[in-house]
Amino acid sequence: MTLTRTRPADGLAWVTGASSGIGRELALQLARSGWRVAVTARRLEELQLLAKQAADEGHVILPFVGDVTDRAGMARLIEEIESQAPIALAVLNVGTFFPDDGAWFGDAFRKTFDVNLGGTLNGLEPLVPKMIARGRGQVAIMASVAGYAGLPRSIAYSSSKSALIVMAQAMRFMLEPRGVGVQVICPGFVETPLTDKNDFPMPFLIKVEDAARRICEGLVSDRFEIAFPRRMVWLLKAINLLPYRAYFWLVGRGTGQA
Ligand SMILES: NC(=O)c1ccc[n+]([C@@H]2O[C@H](COP(=O)([O-])OP(=O)(O)OC[C@H]3O[C@@H](n4cnc5c(N)ncnc54)[C@H](OP(=O)(O)O)[C@@H]3O)[C@@H](O)[C@H]2O)c1
């Protein structure tokens, strides 16, 4: 199957969730590598600061405020961005995490799905048909290694990220032949405001600059999955192949949840 990878000459890069963490750093690194980058989040001031930082370095970042859970709003936002130039590369990065603390099927659970899964869908729905019509585009969906398997205190997060991984796999069959590349991003733990609030050990934690660099490298590669750090990725992939009795024992022991 031919792999579609876009270049700055094809149009804009669009990064959602770019007011902090991985999205912010990724937008900066893409801009430094020659992309004009449209960025989206709810906090305008943060996006404006990012745009100014890029402009001071001689690069272009264009802020567009939006809430990914607003389906109609996201469709309007994409029209607004595309009035500047077509979106060639979309990194649907927005995501949220609430540790499960007993009330796991309450509001936090639904919000996780609304943001992680619904928010990604609200970006794809209006954009992908445009890319198909142009016969060119590239979409990268932010999942997580937490989506490889059900992990303790992560019922909503693991299952929402798992759904995104499977969605990207299924999308690839339909979109690659139409000229639209599909990739999934599965980071391990990265130092960001999202993980700052975690009160549990985070093995193989990496810096946000390192994570964004690995994503940038992955976006121009022929890999479907951009996953890192390797030790975390292979550990979780291997554990997930075990029979369930061994899986539950090992993960429970390893996380102190047995
Ligand atoms: N950090 C990690 O260890 C790690 C590991 C694997 C995967 N990930 C994934 O990487 C992605 C980014 O995470 P991060 O660690 O960089 O988190 P972060 O620093 O909390 O950034 C989340 C971003 O999403 C935006 N956002 C949240 N809800 C939104 C909404 N409803 N509409 C629009 N924007 C919204 C936030 O901006 P506003 O608040 O301004 O809207 C912010 O820019 C997430 O999908 C996360 O699951 C992170």
pTM over the 0.85 mark: yes
70-102 pLDDT, tens digit per residue, is 999 999 999 999 999 999 999 999 999 987 776
Residue tagged 């999955």 (tokens): 225
Q: Whose CA is nearest to atom 7 of ligand 1?
A: 144
The structural domains of the chain, with segments of one domain joined by +, span 8-255
Domain 8-255 has CATH 2.40.128.20: no
208-253 pLDDT, tens digit per residue, is 999 999 999 999 999 999 999 999 999 999 999 999 999 999 999 9
- Ligand 1 binding pocket (C-beta < 6 A) is 17-23, 41-43, 46, 67-69, 93-97, 115, 119, 142, 144, 187, 189-190, 192-195
Name the residue of 194, 225, 233 to mutate for ligand 1: max ligand atoms within 8 A of Cβ: 194
37-83 pLDDT, tens digit per residue, is 999 999 999 999 999 999 999 999 999 999 999 999 999 999 999 99
Tell me which of 153 and 204 has the higher pLDDT. 204
Burial 155-167 (b: 16+ CB within 10 A, else e): bbbbbbbbbbbeb
148 is a catalytic site residue:
no
CA distances from 186 to 70, 88, 96, 165, 183 (A): 25, 21, 14, 8, 10
At 47 the pLDDT is 98
CA distance 97 to 197: 10
Name the residue of 94, 184, 206 to mutate for ligand 1: max ligand atoms within 8 A of Cβ: 94
